[in-house]
Structure 1
């Protein structure tokens, strides 16, 4: 890649609004540290020798080809998928050394939003949001209702949505209810699996802005599995890329654009990616 293109990528990154910027973080700011991770289903190896750091207060976009293991990594960090070997540290603690009580305490610091929302169809919006509260907290019915309404407002939904069923909601509203449930316990880290999948461009852009706003106001760390180029450009502080069963690159957008790895060149240099670039940058893309 030419030096001119790398400089332009750096310039494009610098043009993003200042609140998105994340300064170089010290080692103490690593909230998730994955080292030499191997995950396999039978004889099929999904990832092997994978290393990744997630820094405090950042939105890390995580990309990779379909079926390469992006969501599997999320589930492995959460303890939903067993690893073959490697270490996962969260807030400086090796999760393998935690007892049941410590593990439950750690889970309270996580918020998870699955790709299709995963709302329970038999429950109302309010009841879906209250599920984590009922599992981890001992609250009166009145306080549960009050907290659910706070979370609804936090994600930009009207109060009258509380008593609706998931079948009455639009795709964008389902995403926001799922996000409200992910925020139910005031987590430190939020895991988002393809959060803008299925949304129209306006809805996706609004959701990206919501994530950025929540990160800034609540001090969240966000691990976002996505294939949405717009999200990578507008919302993410850094990007991690998965290929060849491991993380092949991690850094700001300029790092992705400067890489010579074939998959990254195809992903960030293809026609759809070029269309998303600023005009001056696109004209000089090779």
Structure 2
């Protein structure tokens, strides 16, 4: 079984492995997209998953979520091999995962409230008043105004759609959240605020985040570790500093190119939210502490 070309960061002391991918292969006909791929995601971290166009970043995420089949390999979630457990355990594991797809994937005929309640209705048996209360709580949690809960997706801006979709991903209080290009289509301020939201939710809820992204700002500002996909497998994983020192032409051009040099050190100077709902949520959190 192949390991990444270089595992730079020492894994000692990183704690529980929440997601383990071993020797995974995915092919579409004769086209092999992923081959002998290994990856670990640790509890409490934000992992950024990057790679060139067409390398299979979203394919791996969808394979982990069993939305597309894999030809080979083992995927363990919370220590459990999903393929080996019974149906009841599969449901239990499914409930501990949340997903935000690239364009939100909200149901257009449902309100934000009803979209958030979809996983509740699928997995839980709760009275409607309680589901309504939970939906309103999730809306507040992602920084949307209270009246957004009864709006339809067509009435929302792009940034609001992303937040509503994130609220749905958090509906069942998951341990592990998958984000597919979460800042794609957002302006720089909106993207920075969304990054801040993800970091804050990780800290307050104890989330683990698997983020497929091409956004260098996100990688520099909120990701604890980064995994780079290349040649059908994870070629390197580590911190931003590790990426900057890794001797590979694509990695160097990506992390040291013109676009990367334009990024301020947002880890040192956090972006303050300008969205009124986020400002209120941030203020309430400060008062609580």
TM-score range, shorter chain: 0.7 to 0.9
2:14, 2:48 → 1: CA distance? 20
What is the match of residue 150 of structure 1?
137
Bigger Cα displacement from structure 2, 74-83 vs 187-196 = 74-83
- Unpaired runs of 5+ in structure 1? 1-21, 279-286
Distance change >3 Å, CA 77–CA 25, structure 1 → 2: farther
Q: How far apart are 1:25 and its partner, in Å?
A: 5.1
Bigger Cα displacement from structure 2, 93-102 vs 65-74 = 93-102
2:64, 2:208 → 1: CA distance? 14
Q: How far apart are 1:23 and its partner, in Å?
A: 9.7
How large is the Cα RMSD of the aligned pairs? 1.5
Q: How far apart are 1:74 and its partner, in Å?
A: 0.6
Which residue, 131, 137, 143 being the options, matches 2:124?
A: 137
1:95, 1:258 → 2: CA distance? 36
Q: How far apart are 1:263 and its partner, in Å?
A: 1.3
Distance change >3 Å, CA 23–CA 189, structure 1 → 2: farther
Which residue, 206, 223, 241 being the options, matches 1:254?
A: 241
Is the contact made by 1:238 and 1:252 (CA closer than 8 Å) also made in structure 2? yes
Matched, 1:62 2:30: no
Matched, 1:125 2:116: no
Is the contact made by 1:38 and 1:49 (CA closer than 8 Å) also made in structure 2? yes
* 1:7-156 matched pairs, under 5 angstroms: 26=13, 29-156=16-143
Matched, 1:160 2:159: no
What do the CA deviations read for 1:5-58 (whole angstroms, capped 9, x no partner)?
xxxxxxxxxxxxxxxxx9955475111111111110110000101110001100
For these two proteins, the number of residue pairs brought into alignment is 257
Distance change >3 Å, CA 266–CA 23, structure 1 → 2: closer
SS at match of 2:226: strand
SS at match of 1:67: coil
Distance change >3 Å, CA 212–CA 259, structure 1 → 2: same
1:126, 1:159 → 2: CA distance? 11
Q: How far apart are 1:269 and its partner, in Å?
A: 1.7
1:277, 1:202 → 2: CA distance? 13
What is the match of residue 285 of structure 2?
none
2:96, 2:56 → 1: CA distance? 24
Q: Scaled by the length of structure 2, what TM-score is found?
A: 0.86
Distance change >3 Å, CA 78–CA 25, structure 1 → 2: farther
1:141, 1:126 → 2: CA distance? 11
Is the contact made by 1:132 and 1:184 (CA closer than 8 Å) also made in structure 2? yes
Matched, 1:229 2:216: yes
1:30, 1:93 → 2: CA distance? 11
Q: How far apart are 1:98 and its partner, in Å?
A: 1.4
Is the contact made by 1:51 and 1:246 (CA closer than 8 Å) also made in structure 2? yes
2:191, 2:52 → 1: CA distance? 20
